[in-house]
A = this chain, B = another copy of it.
Amino acid sequence: MSNRHMARAIELSIENVSSGRGGPFAAVVVKDGQIIAEGTNQVTSLNDPTAHAEIVAIREACRALKNFQLTGCEIYTTCEPCPMCIGAIYWARPACVYFAATAADAAQYGFDDSFIPEELSRPLGDRKIPMTQIMREEALVAFPLWEQKPDKVKY
């Protein structure tokens, strides 16, 4: 199946490598048949480890729509999203996602994210980045404050 929105994303991924902006990844967000945002990987050029193509495109699309949800939108990404981007996609709630290359394809070129779910299956203290719990009781204060706030914007 060929698709012009994915073709555009692939074009952007190639340009992103040629221009030296970042890795070989791009994504576009489509609403009502029109591209409303484009994103490419800019981790190294922006010094932002979260600047994966999907995150950049989601943030840009939300800015365009003035909304923190991508209701009814489609995301086209040149590669299967990493765990961070999958999380971002679920928070943005688009209607669906199309991807082209697989995570395994990307891993062959040094972009391997399979260690992240592996890490998460380990106990907190046994991970490569250890996670330690402290001060739970003190932190709980913020939650009832949120619950009782009459003008809160839920998300």
Contact A92 B143 (CB under 8 A): no
Contact A134 B101 (CB under 8 A): no
Contact B96 A133 (CB under 8 A): no
Q: With A110-B154, A143-B24, A146-B24 as given contacts, are A132 and B97 in contact (CB-CB < 8 Å)?
A: yes
Cβ contacts A74-109/B at 8 Å (1 or 0 each)? 000011101111111111111111111110011011
Q: Which residues of A contact B (CB under 8 A)?
A: 1-3, 6-7, 9-10, 13-14, 16-18, 20, 22-25, 43-50, 55, 58-59, 62-63, 65-70, 78-80, 82-102, 105-106, 108-110, 113, 115-117, 119-120, 129-136, 138-147, 149, 151-155
